[in-house]
A = this chain, B = another copy of it.
Amino acid sequence: MSERALPYRPHNHQTCVSQALTDAQEICRQQNARLTPIRERVLELIWQSHKPLGAYDILAQLGAEGHKAAPPTVYRALDFLLQYGLIHRISSLNAFIGCAHAGEHHRSTFLICRECGIVLELAVDTVTKAIEAAAKAEAFQVEDITLEISGLCPSCQGNTGHA
C-alpha cells in the first residue's frame, strides 16, 4: 500500500480516488461483501474531495446524474460502507468521509479545518493509548471512539478573513 498524499496540499487527487476504490474492491472480495454499483458510486462520490459529504449532498449528486434515488438508498449504501470500514461518519458535521486507512485496524482522529473544510484522518497510537488508559482508570469498557478536532489547517492559518 503506497503512501497517501496530504490532503491540504495540491496533489493528483485522482490517485486518491482510484486507490480507495481498488482497496474497497479488494476488501469486499476478501469478506464476500457485495460492492454493488450504487455502493461503489456512493463511495466514489464521497472520495471526490477530502471534505466530508452529507447524505443529502450525495442524494442530490445521484439525482443530477439521472439516478433519482430516495434517502433510504443513500443511507443503506452508507451503512454498508461504514460496516466494512470504507468510510467514517463525522458526527459533529453530520457528514461522511472516505477512510484513509481502510483494511487496517485503527482508531481515528479527525482534524477538521473550519475554514476550508478539509479533513485529515490520523491514527496516532499515543492518542489511542492515552484515551484507553483514561477509560480503564474509570473501569469503562471502550467500544467506539469519536475524536473530532476542529480548528485551522496549515494552509488556512494566516488566511484570517481580513481580506
Point out residues on A near B: beta carbons under 8 Å. Answer: 91-92, 109, 111, 113-114, 120, 122, 124, 126-127, 129-131, 133-135, 138-154, 157
Number of copies: 2
A111-B138, A124-B134, A141-B152 given. 13 additional CB < 8 A pairs?
A114-B143, A120-B138, A127-B131, A130-B130, A130-B131, A131-B147, A139-B157, A140-B153, A141-B151, A141-B157, A144-B151, A145-B147, A146-B148
Residues of B contacting A122 in the complex (Cβ-Cβ under 8 angstroms): 134, 138
> Which of B109, B145, B147, B152 contacts A143 (CB under 8 A)?
B152
What is the CA–CA distance of A109 and B135 in the complex, to the nearest angstrom? 9
